[in-house]
A and B are shown apart, each in its own frame.
Chain A
Amino acid sequence: MGKITGFMEFDRVGPKYRPVPVRLRDWKEVYEPQDEKEVSEQGARCMDCGIAFCMQGCPLGNRIPVFNDAAYKQNWAEAADQLFSTNNFPEFTGRLCPAPCESACVLGIAADPVTIERIEYEVVEHAFANGFPVSRSTSTRTGKHVCVVGSGPAGLAAAAQLRSVGHEVTVLERNDLIGGLLRYGIPEFKMEKAVLDRRINVMKESGITFKTGVSVGDDGVSLESLRSEYDAVLLAIGSTRPRMIPVNGAELTGVYPAMTYLEASNRAVNTSTTSEIDVKDKNVIILGGGDTGADCLGTAHRQGAKSVIQIEIMDRPPDERPADQPWPTMARLFKTTSAHQEGGERIFSSETLEFKGDGNLQEIVLRDNSSNEIVTKAVDFVFIAAGFVGPELDQVGLNQDQFVTNRATLSVTPDWAVKGLEGKGQVFACGDAVRGQSLIVWAIAEGRSAASGIDAYLQGEPSSLPAPVEPYSLSW
C-alpha cells in the first residue's frame, strides 16, 4: 500500500494557494489545482500502518490508507469507491474539514502528516469529473417514508443513507435554499456553492424530495403532524443559537453574530448583489479566533474592509504539541488559515469589556489579559464568532427537561431516538442538535449513524447501514 519508502522520499506538499491579490478579487476557492503526479506522491507517503490511527481520528472511519494507496496508483475509480463507502459528501469534508485524521496520522509523530484531506478532495473531484458513481443506491423500495428536518450536513447524510436502502425521504428546510450551514455559513472562497448544488442534484436524482421554506414548530407545521404523516422523523436542526458576549453595547448597530454576517454575504454572492452587511472601507473586528472567525476575516477582506482585527480571548496556542495533548489527539495549535494569509491582525488573550457608540458602533474596549492593559479601538463592525450554545428547541417545542441533555441538546437513545418521542412516527435526532456544535465530519457521521438506527426501526431487524459513531461519542 502506498509506496513503502514513500514517506522517506517525499515531503508533505499541499496544493498551492492562488496569489492573495488575485484571490481577494473574487470569491472563488483559494487553491490552485494540484498536479496529479504530486497528488500521487503525496498518496505514496501513506505508510499503510498496522493500526490506522487516521481511521480512528476520522469520525466517519474513512478508509484512508486504502484511498491513499489508490491515489498513489492514480486509480481514481477505486479511490472514489472506497471513499464513498464511508462518506456521502467527501466534496464537503475535502474542503472544509479541519482533518482530525491528519492529527492522528502516524507520520505526524516525527514528520508532517499525509495530506489526507487534499487527497480526499482530489479523489472526489476526479469522480465527478470522470462520471464515476458519487452515491450509493438501490432499486429496492421499502414503502417507508422518513421526514428529515434540517438540510445541513447531518440531515443530508441521513437522507442519502436512508434513500440508499430504499426508503422514501423528504427533507424539510426552513430557509429558502437547501444546505443549512453549508449554504449560508460557509463562505464561497472555502466552498463554492456550485459544489453544494451539484450534490443536491445528485440527491434529487436519487429520488429524495426537498422542501424549502418549511418551518417545523409553532410557526409552521407541527412535529405531531409530521409524526402522523411519516413513518419516522429525524431532527437534524443543528445548534444554531449563537453565543453572544454579555457586555454593554452589544445591542449597537454594527455588532452582529458571525453567522448573520456570513449569511448576508453568502446571499449577496449568490445573487451577485451587495451584502446587507457590507464592510467595504470599514474597520472590522472579529471576536473569536476559530474557523468561523477566519471565515469572517476572509469575507471582510473580499468585501474590501479597511482593516480587520481578529481577537481571541484565549492565549496564543503553541506551535508544537504540548505534552498534555499527545499524538494522536487533535491538539489546539496555532493555525494559519488561508484567510490569515490574506491580511489582518490577530490579537490573543484579549477580553471584550464594552462596545461603545451612539446607536451605531464606534469603539470597542478590550483588556489584554496578559498585561491587564485596557485598550480602546475604533471600529465600525464587530462580528461575534464565539460559537453556539445549542439547538433552537423551543422552535420545535422540545425544550422541556425530558428531551434535553445537561448541555441543552436533544437527549437520544443509543439508537438515536429522541427520548420520550418513541412510538408511531418515532422521532430521531442527530448532528449538532444532539452533539452540540461540532465539525461537518461529525455531522455526516451522526447522520449516517442515525440513518442506521432509523432503518433498523423501520425494518424491524438490524440495519445493513453502517453506524460509524454512537451518540455523544468522544473523538479520543
Chain B
Amino acid sequence: MTKTLYDPNFEHDACGVGMVADLTATPTHKNVFDALTILENMEHRGATGADTGSGDGAGLLIQMPDSFIREVFDNVPAAGDYGVAFWMIPKHLVMSDVQSTIDKALAKVSLKSGGWRVVPVDSSILGPTSSASEPVFIQQLITSNGAESLERSLFAARKMLEHELPIYASSCSPNVLIYKGMLSSPQLRQYFDDLRDERLITSIAVVHSRFSTNVLPRWELAQPFRYISHNGEINTVRGNRNWMTARETTLKSDLLPVEVSDLYPIITDNMSDSASFDEVVELLVQSGRSLPHAVLMMIPEAWEKSTFMSTERRDFYRYHAGLMEPWDGPASVTFTDGKIVGAVLDRNGLRPARYWVTKDKRVIFASEVGVVDVDPANIERKGRLQPGRVFLVDIEQGRIIDDEELKGTLAAKAPYGQWLNEQQISLDEIDARPWLAPSHASVVRHQKNFGYSEEDLRLIIRHMAQVGEEPIGSMGSDAALPALSTQPRPIFDYFTQLFAQVTNPPLDAIREELVTSTRVTIGGEDNLLTETDRHAHQIVLPSPVLSIDEFAKIRYIEESDKAVGFKTSVVEGLFPSSGAGTAGERLAKAIQEVTNEVVKEVRAGANIILLSDRNVNKDFAAIPSLLLTSAVHHRLVAEHIRTSAALIIEAGDVREVHHVALLLGYGASAVCPYLAYESIDDLVEKGELTSAASVDARYLYGKGLNKGIVKTMSKMGVSTVASYVGSQLFEAVGVSDDILSRYFPGMKSRMGGVTLERVAQDVLTWHSDAYTPAEGERIEIRNKGEYQWRRDGEIHLFNPHTVQKLQHATREKRYDIFKEYTKMVDEQNDAKVTLRGLFNLKPAATPTPLDQVESVSSIIKRFSTGAMSYGSISGEAHETLAIAMNRIGGKSNTGEGGEDEERFDTSDPRFNRRSSIKQVASGRFGVTSRYLVNADDIQIKMAQGAKPGEGGQLPGSKVYPWVAKTRHSTPGVGLISPPPHHDIYSIEDLKQLIFDLKNANDQARIHVKLVSEQGVGTIAAGVAKAHADVILISGHDGGTGAAPLTSLKHAGTPWEIGLAEAHQTLAMNGLRNRVVVQVDGQLKTGRDVVIAALLGAEEYGFATAPLVVSGCIMMRVCHLDTCPVGIATQNPKLRERFKGQPEFVENFFEFIAEEVREYISLLGAKTLDDIIGDTDRIAIDSKTSELSDFDLSALLAPVDHNQRRQTTKQDHEMHDALDWTFIDEAVRSATTGVSTTIASKINNINRAVGTLTGSAITRALGADKLPDDHIQINLEGSSGQSLGAFIPQGLTLRLTGDANDYAGKGLSGGRIIIKAPSASTFETDQNIIAGNVIGYGATSGEIFINGVVGERCAVRNSGATIVVEGTGDHAGEYMTGGVVAILGDIGRNLAAGMSGGTIYLYDPKKTIHDHLSAGVYEIDPLEFEDDEKLLDIITRFEAETGSKKAKSLLSDWRTARMDFVRIETSEYQRVRDELRNG
C-alpha cells in the first residue's frame, strides 16, 4: 500500500450532548421522544462529510426498559436479575460461532444467555460510507447463573469478549441500554424501529451527536459510551493511556469475578479519547468507587490555587492527585449509571452546558437551550454548569444534588487529610545539603561537551536569568531544518511541540493562571483500585524544575530521617566515547544496559530513579537526556513497573524550555538543568549578568523555565504538569523509524530522518571538541548562528547575499538579478535547508512553448501577502503592500489589527489601499460590520506559524493613537490577543463562526488559517465539513510576528508535510474539491510555488519576501519598535526611513509569476491548474546514509484525480436563515429612512439571526449610519447561537425568551435586548437566560440582558455597553473599552487581562476582591459623572427589560449607588486623564 500521511489516530471529535431526566422516576416514552428531539435540534453541532447520508455518530442511552424487554424477549427474570447486551456484530462473522463464543465467555463468570433478538433497523437511509461498515445489531438477554454481582460479571464477560472477537457491545448492563451508530442526528430515530416504539420508556435519556474531523467515523465510536458521553477532547490522552498501561500490574480488586489481568488491556486499542476515558471510568466504578467519585478523580476541578475550597475538599483532590493524573482538556461529560445522571465541566469551562428544571419535575440538560419546547410558565429555574462543577440528578432520591453537597460527601468518605499529613512530605521538610561549585574551565568544557552555542548562553540562558522569562524573537526561522542541518544538533531539535487548533482551544496560562498547576508528586504509586494511607506516601514538588538544592535533597533522600520509605537510585547515562563498534552501536548498547539496570533497581525497591550524566569525562560521553529518559520510561511501561518509581533527570544538555518540556513529555517527573545553573554562575562571575547574586539569577532562570513549560502545555490546552508528564505531545520531524520504534514507541516516523548513528556522532563531535584540547587550552563556545545569521554558522535562506540580490533586482526591475537570487536560494536549499530541497522536478520530454503558458497576470491572482497587522508594521509598509497587490490583481491581508475605514475608499485604482483579505483573529481588533463587508476574503486565524497556540501582546508603548483608532482601543494602553478565539473551543464552534462571518458578508470567501502539524489533515477535513471556502496551511517557519524563541523554533512543522497531509486527507474524504487550499511559510522563489502546487496548493502567500523587497533586512527586532528601515515600527522618526515602493513589490510578484511560468513550461503543462496536486512530477532526492534515512514518498501519495483541486463550492446552509423573512423590509427601511418594526418567532436552530440583515444594511449605507432603533426586530423563543452578531447601528433585536452562546458577538453599533418571558416566574438575577461569551469583541452598541449569563461575558469588549444581572467566570477579560454593568453575582477571575473600559459592579456584599483577577486595578466608589452615566444606563435597561432588579435599585438609587464599585485599570485611567488634560 502506498504510504500516505493520513493517520486515523489524529482524529478529533466534538459534539452536542443532551439529557432528559424525570425526578419522579416515572419512565415515559416522552423522555425518549424529547431526547431525540434535542438531538435533532442540535444537528448543526454535528457534521456530515461528502457523503451526506453518513453521519459522524449519534446515540441514545436509556434506563433498562423492563416492560419493553418483557415484550420482546421471553422468560425474562425479575427486573434487576437480568442484563441486556446490545451487540454490534460485523456482517462477515458467522453468527453461530459468535454465539457459542459468547456463551462460553458468559459461563466463565456464571452468566448465561437468555435469548437473542435481531434489532430491527432501516438500513435504507444509510449513505455509502456508513452502509459499507454497517453491523448486525443484536440484543441478547443475559441472566445470572449464580454470579455474585450481575453487573460486574456482565462487565467482565463483555471485556473479555471484545478482546477475543471483533464485536462490540454498545451496552451490556442490567441498568442501561444504548442505541447508537454511525448516524446523523435525525437518522437515529429513523434507523432504530425501537426508538419509535411507544413501549420503549425511560426516566433518564442521554443523547449525543458527534462531529468528527475524521473521514472514517466508525459505528462503535458513536456515543453515549457505557457510562459517559463526552463533548470535548482529552489533550493528554496519549500519556493517560500510557500511564494506565503502566499501572496495569498494580491493579487488584476483590470485587471483580475475575482477575483484573484477565481484562487487559483496560484501554482498547484504536478507540477514541472518549472511549478510553469511559473504559477507565468503568473500571473504577466496577472495582468499587461511585460514578461521581470516578469522574472527579479523572476530571478534578482547579483545586491547587483555589482560595475558597474547604480543607476536606482540597484534601480529597490532593490525595487523588497522587493516584492518577488528570485527563486534561475541554470536556462536558454527562455520566449515568441508570440511577443517577449527572454532568461535569472541565476546570476551564470550555464547553457549554445549560439546564432547565421544570415545575413538573423534569430536568432538561443540553449543550444549548431551546432544544425542546417548554412552556415558559412551567420553568422553575434555568441554570448552567460552571467550570469544574458537577450537576447531579438522583432519580431514586428524586432530587438534584448540588456540587457542594456531592463533593462534601465524597471528601468525607475517608480520612484523606489525615493520610496526607502522615504520609506525604514536601522537600522543605528535608535539611539542605552542601554541593560544590565547579571552576570556570570545567563549566566551559561541559558547555562544549553538551553542544552549547554562544547564542544559548547569551540569548537564552542569560536572558532568562536576567528577567525570568523566555526571550522573544521575530521574523520566523529561515535556518536549516534541524534534521537536514550539517551541524551537530541536540536531539531535542528534531522534536516539535504540538499545539491546539480548532478542535480544542489553547489556554491563556497567564490571564487564566488559576486553573494551571506545576505541582508534581514523586515516589511509587499504589493499586489504583483501592484507597489506603499508603497511597499518599509521596513527595510533593512545587515544580518540575529542580534547583540544585532540591536536587541534592532528593539525591540523598535516604539519609533524611524525615522521609522514611524513599529510596533513590542513581543510574548514569553515559556511553564510551571510543571502542568497539560504531558510535551508534555503542550508544544503543549503553542505553540497553542503563534500562536493564533501572529495571533491576526498581525491582529491588528503588522508588526514585535519578538519571544523570554528571560524570561525563574523556572516556565517556553523555547519552542525550531525551533518548535516555524516553528509553527508560518506555522500558518501565513495558515491564509494567513504571508507576513504582519516579524519574528525575540530571542533565547537562538541558538549557531551554523546550528541552524540559520534552523530558517531561517523555516521562520525567522533574529535571535539574545543572549545567545551565553552572553557566549562570559563570556569567555572573564574568559580569555578564547584572543581578548581583547567582542565587537570584538561578531563581529567575528556573522561574522562566517554569513559566515556559506552563505556556508550552497551555498551547496544547493542558493545564497541569501532572498530566503533561508522559503525555508525548510532540512530533518528530526527520527522525528515523529505528530511533522512534526503539526509544519512542507510539510515535511514528512519517518520513524517516536522522539515525542513531548521527545522534551518537554529533554527541561525540562535541565531546571531542571538549576533551581533545590539551589541559589549560582555550575552548571556545561558538556562535552557531541559529537565531541570527552568522558567517560561520547555520545556513539561512535569507542571508547577506540573497537579501542584497532580491532588493537590487526588485528595485531596479532586473529579472536577470532576480534569477541570480532565486538560483542562490534554490541551490542553498538543495538538500540542506528545507524538505522541498529534497524534491526534484521532472521536466517533460517536450516543454510547452512559453508563449502558450498561462499569463503572469492570471498567475498573480493566486498570490497574496501575509497577515501582518497594522500596528505590528507601519502604515507606510502596510499600505505599500496593499497598493501593490491591488494594482496587480493579487490580495493583501489586513492582519489582525483592523483597517482604517478611510482605506475602504477604492475610488483611485492606482492607490487603492484596501486589503482584500480581512483577518479575524482572537483579539477581534476593529472587526466591525463595515470591516467585514469590505472584504473579498475573510480569514479566521486559528494559529500563526511563528507561535502556534499562542496569543500576542501589543505593549502600550506601541499603541500609538493611529493604531488605537483602527483597533478601537485607547492610545497608550496595551492590548492582548488571547491564545484562543473565545468563540472557538471546538470544531462546531468554528463551524458557527464561519457561518456568522458568511452571514456578515455572504459574498466573501471564508478562510481558515491553520499551522502545519501532525493531524492537520484531519483538522482540515473538519474545517472543510464546517464549510470553510479556503483552508490555509501555514508552515512553522514563517511568521513575521514576535514570538518566544521556543515557539519560533520548536512548534509546528514545515508546510510541505502539513500541506501534503491536508491535501491527502481532504481528498480521501471527498472534501478536497469543495475547498481551496492555500499555503504560506517562507515561500521565496518560483520553484517554491511550483513545489507547493504539485503538493496540492492552489494559492500562495508571501510575507517575509515582500517585506525584504520593501526594505526589510531581517533585523529580527520587530518586537522592539526599533526597526531601522521603518517597517516594523510606529516610531515616526524611524518610519521616515521607509524606502519601499509599491513598484518593488509589483516587480517581485511579477518575477515570481514569470518564474512559475517557466517551470510550467518545463513541466510541459499550460496552466497551474494542470499541475496542482500532480505529485508524479516530483522526484525524490533521497540520500540515505548511515546518518539519515529520509523517505519522503508519503508526501507524494497520489490522490483521486477529481480531488486534486477545488471544483465546486461549499453549501453554506444559509437558505433557511430566519433573516430572509425580514431582510427586504429592513433594507428598504434603511435606504428609505422610514423606521420599521418586525416580529418573529425564534428557535435554537435559528443561528446568527440579524447578521445577514445587518450586513445588508451596512452594505447599502456605506459610510452612513442609521439612528438607534431605526429597525426593530422583536423575537420570541430561544435564539440559536450568535444572536445579532456584528449588527450595525440602527438595528435593534429584542428577544423574549433566552439565548445561547455568543449573542452580540462583534456588535457594531446595534442593540440587543434579551428578557425573560412575562409568564416566567423565576428570579431573573438567579437564572441564566443567555449563554457563554456574550458580546465578544463588540466594538459599539448595547446589550441588555434581564438575567444571568455564562462565562466570559464581554470578553475583548472595546466599546459596547453591556448590562447583565449576573455573570460566570472571566467576565470582562481582555476588555479594552466600553462599559459593563453587572447587577448581580459574578464568577472568578473578573477583568483578567483587561486594559481599558469600565466595569460597574453592584456589590452589596463587598466580595469584589474575592473575584477579581490578579492585576493592577483601580477599584473605586462611583464618582459624580459615573453616577449620572450609570443611572442613565440602568434606567434605560429597566425601561427596556422591566428588570425587577433594576427597578429595585432605581427605587432607592441613593443607597444602591453606594454599593456599586467601578473597576478600571490604572493604566487606562492614567492615559484617559492625560488625554483629558491634553
Contact = CB atoms under 8 A, between A and B. Distances in A.
Interface of A: 1, 4-5, 7-8, 47-53, 55-57, 61, 63, 65-66, 75, 78, 85, 104, 106-107, 109-111, 136, 138-140, 323, 326-329, 466, 468, 476
B998 to A, nearest CB: 40
B1114 interface: yes
Contacts of A56: 791, 799-801
Interface in B1098-1149: 1111, 1113-1117, 1120, 1122, 1124-1125, 1133-1134, 1137, 1139
Contacts of A63: 783, 790
Given A51-B788, A328-B800, A106 B1117 contact: no
B792 A49 contact: no
Given A104-B800, A140-B774, A476-B801, A4 B783 contact: no
B774 A49 contact: no
B792 A326 contact: no
A106 B801 contact: no
A66 B788 CA distance: 12
Contacts of A75: 687
Interface of B: 454, 458, 474-475, 686-687, 773-774, 776-778, 780, 783, 788-792, 796, 798-801, 803-804, 807-808, 811-812, 1111, 1113-1117, 1120, 1122, 1124-1125, 1133-1134, 1137, 1139
Contacts of A1: 458
Given A138-B774, A326-B811, A466-B792, A53 B1115 contact: no
A147 B454 CA distance: 36
Contacts of B1120: 4
Nearest to B1113: A106
Contacts of B790: 52, 55, 63
B1117 A50 contact: yes
A110 B1129 CA distance: 15
Contact of A61 (B791, B796, B808): B791
A52 B1113 contact: no
14 contacts: A8-B1133, A47-B1124, A49-B1113, A50-B789, A51-B796, A52-B790, A53-B1113, A65-B788, A106-B1115, A109-B1124, A138-B773, A327-B804, A328-B804, A476-B801
Contacts of A466: 792
A47 B1122 contact: yes
Contacts of A106: 1113, 1115, 1124
A109 B798 contact: no
A243 B804 CA distance: 34
A50 B1115 contact: yes
Given A50-B1117, A52-B790, A107 B1124 contact: yes
A136 B1122 CA distance: 38
Given A8-B1133, A50-B1115, 17 more contacts: A48-B788, A49-B1114, A49-B1116, A50-B789, A50-B1116, A51-B788, A51-B799, A51-B1114, A56-B800, A61-B791, A85-B780, A106-B1115, A109-B1137, A109-B1139, A326-B807, A466-B792, A476-B800
Given A56-B791, A106-B1115, A476 B1125 contact: no
Q: Which of B475, B778, B800, B808 has the most CB of A within 10 A?
A: B800
Contacts of A326: 804, 807-808, 811
B812 A50 contact: no
B1113 A109 contact: yes
B792 A61 contact: yes
Contacts of B687: 75
Given A56-B801, A61-B791, A61-B792, A47 B1115 contact: yes
Given A47-B1117, A50-B1116, A50-B1117, A110 B791 contact: no
Contacts of A327: 804
Nearest to B769: A464
Nearest to B799: A51
A189 B773 CA distance: 41
A328 B777 CA distance: 38
Contacts of A65: 788
A247 to B, nearest CB: 39
B777 A138 contact: yes
Contacts of B1125: 109-110
A372 B812 CA distance: 34
Q: In the A-B complex, list the 10 residue pairs whose CB atoms are closest, starting with the nearest.
A: A50-B1116, A56-B800, A61-B791, A110-B1137, A50-B1114, A51-B789, A55-B791, A51-B1114, A53-B800, A50-B1115
A323 B1139 CA distance: 14
Contacts of B808: 326
A138 B773 CA distance: 9
A136 B799 CA distance: 30
A143 B8 CA distance: 64
B783 A323 contact: no
Contacts of A110: 1124-1125, 1137, 1139
Contacts of A323: 811-812
A450 B1460 CA distance: 81
A49 B1115 contact: yes
A51 B1124 contact: no
A53 B807 CA distance: 14
Given A7-B1124, A61-B792, A110-B1137, A66 B803 contact: no
B810 to A, nearest CB: 11
A57 B804 CA distance: 12
B139 to A, nearest CB: 68
A340 B1400 CA distance: 74
A166 to B, nearest CB: 10
Nearest to B1116: A50
Nearest to A326: B808
A35 B600 CA distance: 67
Contacts of A109: 1111, 1113, 1124-1125, 1137, 1139
B783 A49 contact: no
Nearest to A65: B788
A109 B686 CA distance: 35
Contacts of A136: 778
A106 B1057 CA distance: 36
A139 B777 CA distance: 8
Nearest to A136: B778
Contact of A4 (B778, B788, B807, B1117): B1117
B793 to A, nearest CB: 10
A78 B781 CA distance: 12
Nearest to A476: B804
B722 to A, nearest CB: 39
A220 B1186 CA distance: 54
Contacts of A66: 454, 783
Nearest to A69: B458
A78 B773 CA distance: 21
Contacts of A51: 788-789, 796, 798-800, 803, 1113-1114
Nearest to A61: B791
Q: Which of B801, B1120, B1124, B1134 has the most CB of A within 10 A?
A: B1124
